Amino acid sequence: MSVSQLRNIYQLKISLTGSKPAIWRRVLVVSDSSLKDLHLTIQIAMGWSNCHLHQFISNGIFYGIKDDDFDFGMEIEDENDYKLNQLLKSEKDFIQYEYDFGDGWIHKVILEKILPFNIENKLPLCIKGKRACPPEDCGGIWGYEELLETINDSDHPEHDSMLEWLGDPFDSEALDIDNINKQLLEYIR
């Protein structure tokens, strides 16, 4: 059996839990990608900067970076030792991805479709999505909601300081899929 017969393309929908309106990305990845590679794909597709700890959760098992300095008394499987197709086997299967344990950004990663592998596909690839990723360190989903209220109300007492903290203009509706795919090409492939 050839390698291409063992591999598939997974269409995943990655949704930021609790975001209203929804913040999500649809990506295509190789089914035998490591969880580490999926982590990097999520970081780039969502717009995170990969500066905090993370973990995957599937059926009560935690997968992440094994590090004795960050042992919180729970068993964690090394994400380098697991492939995506070991956790997601059928359409509608899902796992959780948590990024930044302080802010607690929880993502639901759903296997939407299993497609035939084609060696000519350049993967991973973001094919669709909605809305900008929240800024790092803004306090989780609740802090993000407060941030949006503050920057959208010029009379809010913290309006100017919040804009200064952001540094660059922030458009919560913005999404640049071409830029995401350029970054995926540079960092993952």
Q: Domain segments of the chain: what residues?
A: 3-134+173-187
pLDDT band per the 50, 70, 90 thresholds, residue 169: confident
3-state helix, strand, coil in the chain (%, to 5): 30, 30, 40
pLDDT tops 60 at residue 3: no
- Spatial strand order of the sheet with 105-116 comes to 76-78, 61-64, 54-58, 94-99, 105-116, 8-16, 24-30, 125-130
For residue 68, the model assigns a pLDDT of 65
Mean pLDDT of the chain: 92
Buried-state track 62-71, b at ≥16 Cβ within 10 A, e below 16: bbbeeeeeee
Question: Which tokens in the block code for residue 62?
Answer: 């935690």
For residue 168, the model assigns a pLDDT of 79
For residue 142, the model assigns a pLDDT of 94
Sort 118 into a burial class: Cβ within 10 Å, 0-12 / 13-18 / 19+: exposed
pLDDT tens sequence across 89-120:
999 999 999 999 999 999 999 999 999 998 88
pLDDT tops 70 at residue 70: no
Question: Which tokens in the block code for residue 5?
Answer: 């017969």
- Residue, of 69 and 47, whose pLDDT is higher: 47
pLDDT tops 90 at residue 73: no
pLDDT, average across residues 12-34? 97
pLDDT tops 80 at residue 72: no
CA angle at 183 for the pair 82 and 9, rounded to the nearest 5°: 45
pLDDT, average across residues 124-153? 95
pLDDT, average across residues 130-154? 94
Q: What is the CATH number of domain 3-134+173-187?
A: 3.10.290.30
Q: Residue 43 contacts by C-beta under 8 Å, 6 or more apart in sequence?
A: 49, 50, 99
For residue 4, the model assigns a pLDDT of 41
pLDDT, average across residues 141-168? 92
Give the predicted TM-score (pTM) of the model: 0.92
pLDDT band per the 50, 70, 90 thresholds, residue 188: low
| 46, 16 Cβ separation under 8 angstroms | yes
For residue 97, the model assigns a pLDDT of 98
